[in-house]
Chain A
């Protein structure tokens, strides 16, 4: 079947537009979402008031539980239901007949299709990417506000609560709404293609996972407008500060993390099932591209670790809203319990934010070096090693927390050992480039930027892993420097590399190479000027999370702030390039990079159902330089053969 016929059958099934006013109100979409959001919000309000009245709790109109149940839980559910995320499941649960998948929610024919519950993994991937970049801009602007305040000692523009809110929301948006979901978005687009699958295993679940994200993001940003201001306890939300000493905004954080976490668990589950059950014939585990391996291992981390942050936020929220005693020492609670539970997720989370990037690097470096990935199996195994070790190091964030001191040395050893599998990856990439034919297109530049910057960030991580050093630099700007070297120099550089690398595949058009290179150099220089000096003021004694600091740090901070605005400006180049190239860039063709993995065998953008016939995998994905080697062949379908018979 050709792409054209797919398109036709498709139109028949698409829900017809227009119709009676009643249809417009009840059909899944934005109109129904609007009134169902209100309806569910009102129901939530009613339930709380009724329950408090029945239980005899006073005051009946307590703000915290009402806002939590009605605004943060019920109303978003109403929104999802209204948009149509649950339509099929409701129909099924109420006993509707099983019907063959009609793909009515699949694919995009106009921009409007990006604003509904779409089940096409490619559409969802784009939805993810655009949404996450939007939140990256907001998070970045908050960072620039932080830098503005810190340009001079003393208080300039904000009061303390607002300042603490600024960096808390900055970090939460960057982590939960940019890095983690941006990787999920890239993988959403690429993984099924790379596997030779028509879609993800659970397309409707995939759609739902996406739509949870805007909810989480809006909740975090909206916390600025609730009375008392945004949550201001850092992205780590330590208790008892966050549970009992914070305004209502803290609950927005607790609950937003639940939405984002649920989204990421569902996506991870989807990836795992897709990778296990939907590989094309011939695609053994040892023939999977390393990007697929990376997302496989990341998804394992997500499924196992994320429930722990859910738990930690439930406890903190219950302490806040229901006055439970998880962490209240006066009532027998244990404050350090929060940190253990939180870091048991959040350390693995830093690898959730890095392993997919490692996958992108393997693709980019091998294609632009025209060489097979060096030590393919060890590359995959080191990913697994990082997953396993990643679960045994959480307390390195707690070396100075007052936890049991016998835990420190074992946690230090496991922490330091993580340098070994990571080092294997770094050295293997270097060996992949060795004697290759290097092409310095923008993705490759970002890959090289990643290699150098991540090593610096990793080495500062190793310093932190050594307990005596951490005792000196913990909670200083040295940590802030480490964070940004691994998260910006690591994750963000790989995300940029991935976006440039698959931009032709996603849009069918080429980005502007000159602007791409300009973006890279501005980012690379701006990044180092902004974040490198932070190491120094950190070891010298400037603590993190402060709005005011000793005058001796004034000059360096002014320098950092100026540099950070330059870094911010570099993002504008990126945006301009993306928008103009998407509209009227040069046509890219199906395989501009001469890659071997499966996504390059189909048109750009790929057909609605990816492959007309499931491809046959015949070899490893990186056989550059091996004459005649192929990763996969497309078996021409019977339909096409028939059409091609000359009349």
Chain B
């Protein structure tokens, strides 16, 4: 290959990569993270996106270069050079992707184990899903329960998920984590909210007629507000009981 054609190829690659980067950066892809785990997950997403952009740029450059430079005239009946292979190239494009995906796997595994590690002073919340509603209860607070999920900021929370009828799935886009609720099984999800606000809780597993409407809200409060709320709930439930 000529020097000139290598330069052209690289130039096309940079343009293609630039466009892909613009798409990645300029469009609003991810919701603002609201938990520590979400922050780590977003890091993985960006890490993988960078690798993807590079690969996309390489492939796009090769295609565009080939299309523009190797076009044959319609009446050109000649054949190209009979090249059957090239061992060095083949080794390169086996090894480089292997290294890249290994890197992705390592980063992912590290983030996964960090996200699953629990902090001290864990708040337990039981989540119950049924067609087509959510309910949340706080076993540490005498079983106080609520149709919306209230969580204190910066405290490690362990959700214990149950389903009464079919499979549902718990997702708060700003927390970037979801987990199915399965009848007959207990599943868990670990979240450390770190941004105050009100977010949507969405059921993401098809569960029947009302699947699209099976929503509620999650509220992240200051720890003081949360404790106050929890106490009032406790009183309400003991007076009732």
Contacts and interface: CB of A to CB of B under 8 A. Distances in A.
A541 B93 CA distance: 35
A160 B210 contact: yes
B217 interface: no
A374 B81 CA distance: 11
A474 B116 CA distance: 18
Contacts of B179: 400, 402, 471
Contact of A164 (B27, B206, B213): B206
Interface string A541-556: 1011111111000000
B105 interface: yes
Contacts of B89: 427, 431
B11 interface: no
Given A409-B109, A462-B52, A466-B104, A625 B80 contact: yes
Interface of A: 160-161, 164, 232-234, 238, 240-241, 245, 329-330, 333-336, 369-372, 374-378, 400-402, 405, 408-409, 412-413, 416-417, 419-420, 423-424, 426-428, 430-431, 433-440, 448, 451-452, 455-456, 459, 462-463, 465-469, 471-472, 474-476, 536, 539-541, 543-550, 594, 623-626, 629
Given A372-B84, A462-B52, A468 B40 contact: yes
B154 interface: no
A455 B56 contact: yes
B176 A448 contact: no
Q: Which of B56, B74, B97, B185 has the most CB of A within 10 A?
A: B97
Among B56, B82, B179, which residue has the most Cβ atoms of chain A within 10 A?
Answer: B82
Contact of B202 (A160, A369, A541): A541
Given A241-B207, A245-B131, A437-B78, 13 more contacts: A160-B211, A241-B166, A336-B182, A371-B79, A401-B167, A413-B105, A420-B94, A430-B66, A448-B67, A469-B45, A539-B30, A541-B173, A624-B79
Contacts of A413: 105
Nearest to A234: B206
B183 A329 contact: yes
Interface stretch (B57-65, B118-126, B138-146, B231-239): B57-65
A57 B101 CA distance: 58
Interface string B161-179: 1000111010101001111
A335 B182 contact: yes
Interface in B59-106: 59-60, 62-63, 66-67, 70-72, 74, 76-86, 89-90, 93-94, 97-98, 101-102, 104-105
Contact of A469 (B48, B55, B94, B200): B48
A477 B232 CA distance: 40
Contacts, number: 258
A625 B167 contact: no
B31 interface: yes
Contact of B83 (A374, A424, A440, A548): A374
A135 B44 CA distance: 40
Given A240-B183, A416-B105, A160 B97 contact: no
Contacts of B109: 409, 412, 467
B72 A437 contact: yes
Contacts of A372: 82-84
Given A405-B116, A468-B41, A541-B200, A455 B82 contact: no
A463 B51 CA distance: 10
B21 interface: no
Contacts of B167: 238, 240-241, 335, 401
Nearest to B175: A472
B52 A626 contact: no
Contacts of B79: 370-371, 437, 624-625
B115 interface: yes
15 contacts: A161-B209, A245-B166, A334-B184, A335-B182, A374-B84, A375-B86, A376-B84, A412-B105, A420-B94, A438-B66, A466-B104, A468-B45, A471-B177, A471-B179, A539-B30
B95 to A, nearest CB: 9
Given A475-B169, A540-B28, A336 B185 contact: yes
B225 to A, nearest CB: 25
B28 A472 contact: no
Task: Identify which of A336, A440, A475 gathers the most chain B CB atoms within 10 Å of its CB.
Answer: A475
Given A335-B183, A459-B55, A438 B70 contact: yes
B116 A624 contact: no
B55 A546 contact: no
B64 to A, nearest CB: 9
B31 A475 contact: no
B6 to A, nearest CB: 13
Nearest to A159: B209
A419 B97 contact: yes
A543 B82 contact: no
A409 to B, nearest CB: 5
B63 A430 contact: yes
B80 A436 contact: yes
B82 A624 contact: yes
A161 to B, nearest CB: 6
A375 to B, nearest CB: 4
Contacts of A456: 56
A475 B205 contact: yes
Contact of B85 (A376, A426, A452): A376
A435 B173 contact: no
Contacts of A474: 178, 204
Contact of A543 (B48, B81, B204, B209): B204
A545 B206 contact: yes
Contacts of B183: 240, 329, 335
B205 A238 contact: yes
A105 to B, nearest CB: 42
Nearest to B167: A238
Contacts of B182: 335-336, 401-402
Contacts of A550: 200
Contacts of B19: none
Contacts of B184: 329-330, 333-335
Contacts of A624: 79-80, 82
Contact of A463 (B52, B94, B202): B52
A115 to B, nearest CB: 39
Given A459-B52, A546-B212, A536 B41 contact: no
A241 B206 contact: yes
B222 interface: no
A436 B166 contact: no
Contacts of A437: 70, 72, 76, 78-80
